[in-house]
Structure 1
Amino acid sequence: MDATDHLPCQRHLFEIPDDISYLDAAAWSPLPRAVREAGEAGLLVKARPWDHPREAVPAQAERARRAAARLIGATTDDVAIMGSVSHAMATAAANLTVAPGGRVLRVADEFPSLRYAFDRLATARGLIVEEVPRPGDGDWTAALLAALGRAGAPPVAVATLTPLHWTDGGLIDLDRLAPAVHAAGAALVIDATQAAGALPVDVGRWRPDFLAFPTYKWALGPYGLAFLYAAPHRQGGAPIEDNIGNRPPAAGARRYDRGELNDPILLPMAATGLELVLSWDASAVATRLRRLTDQLTEGVVGLGVSAAARHLRSPNILGLRAAGGLPPGLADQLRQAGIFASERSGALRLSPHVWADEGDVKRCVKALRHAL
C-alpha cells in the first residue's frame, strides 16, 4: 500500500505498461483485464449463437442495471439502460413539463451532451438559457447560488448541473446546490459522467429528477452504454424511442430503456466494470485520487501553471492553466514521454484513476518540467 490511504494501487488489474502514465480517465479509461475478458466471452455469443442461447442475455441487462443502481444509491426499478448520456438527456428533456418564460440554468462551457437537448427544450417551450460565466475566483458553487437567487430574474425552471466542471475539475458542490434548486421549485437534472465511479454519487441525497452517467470513463466499462436514473415521479413519461422491451408491461424507469437492449458484449462488460468499482469504497477511491492530484499540484509549483484552490476543485481531475496560455502541443509532448492527458478549454486536464500511483505523478512532473 502506498501513501494514498486505504485503497492500494490497482494497476495489477489493468494492462498498462510500466513506462506509461495514463492520466486521462476523464477522456476514457483503459479496460481492466476482467472487463476485456467479459467482452471477449460476449463476442462468442454472437460469433457462435448456436452454442450460447440468447435467452441468457436478458439476465445480463438486469445484472448491469442492478450494479448501476447500487453505484448511485438507487433502486433497480429506477434505472434505465441507454445508449449514451446524450440519449439519456434527450429522454430527460422530453419528459419535463415546464412553463414558458423560466430559465434553464447551467455553467458556461458545459459539455454538449448536457446542452443540446435542453437548448431544444428551451426553444420549444419558450425558456431562457442562462449560462453562468466562469467565475474569476474559481467558485462555481457560489456563482450558481447567486444566479439561482438573483432578485428580479425569471424563475429557474430547470437546472442542469454536474458535480464538477468537465474541463478542469472545478467543484460544483451539489450538496449545497441541490437543496437550493429544490427550494426554487425547479427540476434538477444531473450529468454524473465525471463523477460516477470516482466520487460518491447519491441520488437520495441530491434528489434529482434525472441523473445519467456512461460506463466508459470512471466506471471502467465499454463505450456505447449509459444509465439514466429517473425519480419515481418521473417514471410515467414516454421514451424517445418505442421498442418491444419498453412497452407495457415494462414499468418504472424500464419504460425508457433503449432498443436492442440485450447486447451480449456490452452488458457483461459494463456489469463487470461496475461490480469492480463497487468492490471498493467510493470515499476511499476519492481520497486516493485527491492525494494524487494534490501531489501533482505540489509538483508543478514554480512552472508557470496553476490550478484552482484545493477547496474549489474536485478530487479526481486537476486542471492546470497558464496566464499566457499553455504552450502549443503540450499534450503531444507529454504523450511522447509516455504521459497521457488532455487539453480542454485552455487547461491541461490530468485525471488519474485507481491504476495510477506516485510513480506516475513523478514521471508526469518530470515531463512537465522539461516541457515548460
Structure 2
Amino acid sequence: MISAEPLPCQRHLFEVPEDVSYLDSAAWSPLPRAVRAAGEAGLLLKSRPWSHPRAAAAEGAERARAAAAGLIGAAPDDVAIVGSVSHAVATAARNLPLRPGGRILRVADEFPSLCLAFDRLAAERGLAVEAVARPADGDWTAALAAAIARPGAPPLAVATLTPLHWADGGLIDLARLAPLIRDAGAALVVDATQAAGAMPLDIARLRPDFLAFPTYKWALGPYGVAFLYAAPHRQGGVALEENAGNRPPAAGARRYDRGERDDPVALPMAAAGLELIAGWGVPAVAARLRALTDRLAAGAAELGLGPLPRHLRAPHILGLAWPGGVPEGLVAGLRDRGVFASARLGGLRLSPHVFAHAADLGRCLAALAELRRGA
C-alpha cells in the first residue's frame, strides 16, 4: 500500500556517498542496492545454469513486463520488451502507414533516438519534417498546439513527442496535446525516456499509438532494457527483428519482443527498479523531486542563472541558463567540488533523484556561487 505521507529521502537504499551530490539522473541513475542484488543473482543463475530451472528466465521477463505496464497504467499484453528506445521508435516507424505529403511534427533539438527512424521514413515516403522552434516564452505546449492547427500546413501524419524537453526539463503537456493530434487524424509516438518513473504517465488519457521508455535513467534499472507500449490497433505489425518468441502464437505487443528476450541478469534488475518505484508511487516520487528542483531553482535564480518558470518545467529536471552559455570547465569544476551534473544545449542540467537531500542541494548551490564568481 502506498503511503499518503511525503516520500522521505531514500539514500539508504543506494550506494551514494555523503560527499557526493549526484544530480545527473537524467543521464543515468545509480542502481539501488536491491537492483544490484537482482543482477548478481542473475549472474549466478547464468554461471550455474544446472542449478536453476530454465523457466525462471521466462518468468523474469513476464515480471518485468508487468512492472513496466503498471508504471504507465497499461496492460502487460500491450507492452513489448525491446533493447532500447531507438529499437522501439524504429518499430513504431516501421508500423505506421504514413502517406506521402503528410507532416511529421517534433520539437527543435530533439534527441536523435526519436528522430532518425522518422527522418529516414520521411525521405522514403515523401513526408515533411517540422521541428517547432524553442518558444521565447518557454511554453512548448502552446507552440506545439499552434503548429498542429496552423492553417495551410501539410496534413499532420504523426507527432513524435516527449513529455518534457530532455535538455532542460521544459514541460510538454501531452494530455493537452494528444486530443488535438487525434482530432487531426494523426498518430502519436511518445518517447518517455525522461519521464517514466519520475512523473505520472497515463496511457488511458494519452492514448498514444506507441510509447517507449528505457530503465537506465528514472526507472532505476540497467542498460539494454526498454519497453514499448503498442496500442491494440497497432499490434498487428511486423517486429524489427523476427525470432521464434515473437511469431504466432505470440499475440498483442509481444509480437514486437526482441530476440534473446529472457535475459536472466538485466530483466530481474529492471523489474526490481520498477517495483521500487511502484512501492513509492510515481506521484510521491514526482512530489519529492519537485520539492528538490524548486529549492535548486530558487537558489539558482539568486545567482542569476535563469531557470524556467515553475509552471513550464517538469518536476525532476532543472535547466539553468548560464549567461553566455556554459563556460568551459564548469562541469569539471562542479565535479571537483563533489557535484555531478551535465551541460546540455548551452545550459546546465540538474536532475536529482530520490536519494538527493538538502546537503546535496546546498553543496551544489555553493559550488555554483563559487564558480559564478570565478567566471
- Give the TM interval when normalised to the shorter protein: over 0.9
Deviations along 1:18-50, one digit per CA (max 9) or x if unpaired, are 000110110000000000000001001111112
Alignment of 1:210-221 (within 5 A): 210-221=210-221
Native 8 Å contact 2:307 2:320 kept in 1: yes
Aligned-pair CA distance for 1:323: 3.0
Match of residue 353 from structure 2: 353
Alignment of 1:124-135 (within 5 A): 124-135=124-135
Native 8 Å contact 2:29 2:217 kept in 1: yes
Structure 2 distance, partners of 1:300, 1:140, is 22
Aligned-pair CA distance for 1:175: 1.3
Match of residue 113 from structure 1: 113
SS of the aligned residue for 1:306 comes to coil
Which amino acid in 1 is paired with 2:146?
A: A
Deviations along 1:67-97, one digit per CA (max 9) or x if unpaired, are 0000000000000000000000000000000
Match of residue 368 from structure 2: 368
Aligned-pair CA distance for 1:304: 3.0
Moved more, 158-167 or 175-184: 175-184
Alignment of 1:183-332 (within 5 A): 183-332=183-332
- Extract unaligned runs of 5+ from structure 1: none
Runs of 4+ in structure 1 deviating by more than 6 angstroms, as ranges, are none
Aligned-pair CA distance for 1:291: 1.0
Native 8 Å contact 2:322 2:348 kept in 1: no
Aligned-pair CA distance for 1:56: 1.4
Alignment of 1:39-78 (within 5 A): 39-78=39-78
Structure 2 distance, partners of 1:77, 1:7, is 31
The count of aligned residue pairs is 368
Match of residue 8 from structure 1: 8
Aligned-pair CA distance for 1:303: 2.0
Structure 2 distance, partners of 1:297, 1:63, is 38
SS of the aligned residue for 2:343 comes to strand
Structure 2 distance, partners of 1:207, 1:329, is 43
Native 8 Å contact 2:301 2:307 kept in 1: no
Which amino acid in 1 is paired with 2:209?
A: D
Structure 1 distance, partners of 2:18, 2:347, is 26
Aligned-pair CA distance for 1:53: 2.5
Match of residue 143 from structure 2: 143
- Extract unaligned runs of 5+ from structure 2: none
Deviations along 1:225-278, one digit per CA (max 9) or x if unpaired, are 000000000000010111010011000000000000010000100000000010
Deviations along 1:269-304, one digit per CA (max 9) or x if unpaired, are 000000001001211111111111110011123323
Aligned-pair CA distance for 1:143: 0.6
Query: Does 2:27 align with 1:23?
Result: no
RMSD: 0.8
Structure 1 distance, partners of 2:103, 2:301, is 41
Moved more, 94-103 or 295-304: 295-304
Structure 1 distance, partners of 2:194, 2:93, is 20
Structure 2 distance, partners of 1:249, 1:281, is 35
Query: Does 2:171 align with 1:180?
Result: no
TM-score, with structure 2 as normaliser: 0.97
SS of the aligned residue for 2:325 comes to coil
Aligned-pair CA distance for 1:55: 2.1
Structure 2 distance, partners of 1:55, 1:209, is 32
Native 8 Å contact 2:300 2:365 kept in 1: yes
Match of residue 38 from structure 2: 38
TM-score, with structure 1 as normaliser: 0.98
Which amino acid in 1 is paired with 2:9?
A: C
SS of the aligned residue for 1:301 comes to helix
Structure 1 distance, partners of 2:156, 2:106, is 10
Structure 1 distance, partners of 2:29, 2:357, is 15
Structure 2 distance, partners of 1:322, 1:220, is 29
Match of residue 342 from structure 1: 342
Aligned-pair CA distance for 1:111: 0.5
